[in-house]
Structure 1
């Protein structure tokens, strides 16, 4: 595996527009941290969907490796890689933001904005699901914070969130599964919405975190307070396998890379004017799935030697 050296010209300004497009122009309303409640209902006869306009998160289904969960603008979508069919999950059709799965569990986390006609507060704050997105518990900061990134340790003892009250971008931390939150006084991490793209905690160590920004790959060993630049570049996505093993996408080189200790490996992935927005990996890092800014989803099981296109431009295969 050879590290790529070729630099290409990317339309990075247009990518930034897509990242920041979903949000509200209004000021955040007053919310509460003490009155969680549930939204949504289990739906047996699910509504099929044949496409999506864009997504704000990607994960494997926690109990079915043949399925992906896509956090879309109009609700959570379950996509079956075998049948090539997509169905909305649950009854709520809201704009999911910051979506992720807690590593090694069946717990989903998200934030976002209410769907059309909803009486829910905007933004929704922090939401938690233990039934694969059928129903959600609104646990904290509802009507207050719009999270665009969420990450947690496997034991759920620590959750970090990157979010905004529409005035200030900040990192937040919760030590009780999202019911109470504190602002993290970070140092050294670019936090503006057009600088910060993605971050993740090490699954088994809440002190270790990595962040993908337009100024490089950043690293923290004190739980997200102090950050230092590990690599230069325009990083748009990151996935943490362990304390010293991380996969990331660097847009200016159009390359997907993996760091393990002091070694750097590359995956053979060339996207032209596109770039990776979200990525997930198996315990075996040769198996990676990526979602791109232009709504493509690709997967590899051999460290990038070959790639299969699962979804093209947001359209499920017919």
Structure 2
């Protein structure tokens, strides 16, 4: 299966910079004012925003930003869960970890990493996990020792895998994938040609929006939050799962050349939402869009 990452098709190719080696030091989150670049995912846990970047994890807590002092790996496919996070990617230069990381898990905010599957084999750019269920879906773009290309899911943290038919998606460019927080069988896929939903483990997908560009998606218990980009500009919607009613969420003024590429919410308080744009502007709201706070402008932390 050949897929083009939606941001690449829609905007421009991202150039990954080389990671810098680091001396071993105690793992902690330290206050920082560094510039954020190459963001690969985000999530909210305990009301704090976590961001996965090319050079490690960052956290926004209260009014302050923090960055990890060690384990500053290139985290791809970052997916926050109730217990911690799942991810993939590449180790920092100088690390004794194999490259790529395969499927990894952390339950202590990145201090330690459990190697679950395909360690040293695969880098999953498309990876999502149910916040409560821990059902994990990946789109495998390069064959490994067990999986061919395509969509797969595991319900036991990578011990066994099942393939998904991935039928019904009429697009060759994917933005993001998002698993339902509790229901193993439900997964959403955002594409340049609309938002697709599967209720049978990714075997059959149905288009649930008009065929406009949908860069970002997040599944909640009873709804889906997603961003759009069309001739009317950039928008953010919440769509119910039971009847498909879509309600627009007010967002800050962002231009069409700066679309929303990532969205997350607090699964324990869905009124708290965070978005990240193409230019690395980061906004957060505690009241579902009535008021937004900009916490980064073009990657510069605020």
TM-score, normalised to structure 2's length? 0.82
Give deviations 1:207-245, integer Å, cap 9, x for gaps. 221111111100101011111211121001111112x51
Aligned-residue Cα RMSD (Å) equals 2.8
Say whether the 8 Å CA contact 1:172–1:183 is kept in structure 2: yes
- Measured after TM superposition, the shift of residue 258 of structure 1 is 0.8
Give deviations 1:245-292, integer Å, cap 9, x for gaps. 111001224110111233211012231021111111235544321111
Q: Which residue does 1:230 correspond to in 2? A: 208
Report the Cα distance in structure 1 between the residues aligned to 2:181 and 2:218, rounded to whole angstroms: 10
- Measured after TM superposition, the shift of residue 46 of structure 1 is 4.2
Please tell me whether residue 144 in structure 1 is matched to residue 127 in structure 2.
no
Report the Cα distance in structure 2 between the residues aligned to 1:237 and 1:48, rounded to whole angstroms: 27
SS at match of 2:11: helix
Change in 2 beyond 3 A, CA 1:156/1:268: closer
- Measured after TM superposition, the shift of residue 109 of structure 1 is 0.6
Matches within 5 A, 1:44-55: 44=28, 46=30, 48=32, 50-55=34-39
Report the Cα distance in structure 2 between the residues aligned to 1:134 and 1:169, rounded to whole angstroms: 31
- Measured after TM superposition, the shift of residue 71 of structure 1 is 0.4
Change in 2 beyond 3 A, CA 1:47/1:288: closer
Q: Which residue does 1:15 correspond to in 2? A: 11
In structure 1, stretches of 5+ residues that fail to align are 1-10, 25-39
Instruction: Tell me which of 225, 231, 237 is aligned to 1:257.
Output: 237
Please tell me whether residue 88 in structure 1 is matched to residue 71 in structure 2.
no
Q: Which residue does 2:274 correspond to in 1? A: 289
Q: Which residue does 2:301 correspond to in 1? A: 316
User: Mean alpha-carbon deviation: is it higher for 173-182 or for 209-218?
Assistant: 173-182
- Measured after TM superposition, the shift of residue 158 of structure 1 is 2.2
Q: Which residue does 1:74 correspond to in 2? A: 55
Please tell me whether residue 276 in structure 1 is matched to residue 260 in structure 2.
yes
Matches within 5 A, 1:208-247: 208-231=186-209, 232-242=211-221, 244-247=222-225
Q: Which residue does 2:3 correspond to in 1? A: none
In the alignment of these two chains, the number of paired residues is: 280
In structure 2, stretches of 5+ residues that fail to align are 1-6, 19-23
Say whether the 8 Å CA contact 1:42–1:135 is kept in structure 2: no
Report the Cα distance in structure 2 between the residues aligned to 1:12 and 1:111, rounded to whole angstroms: 20
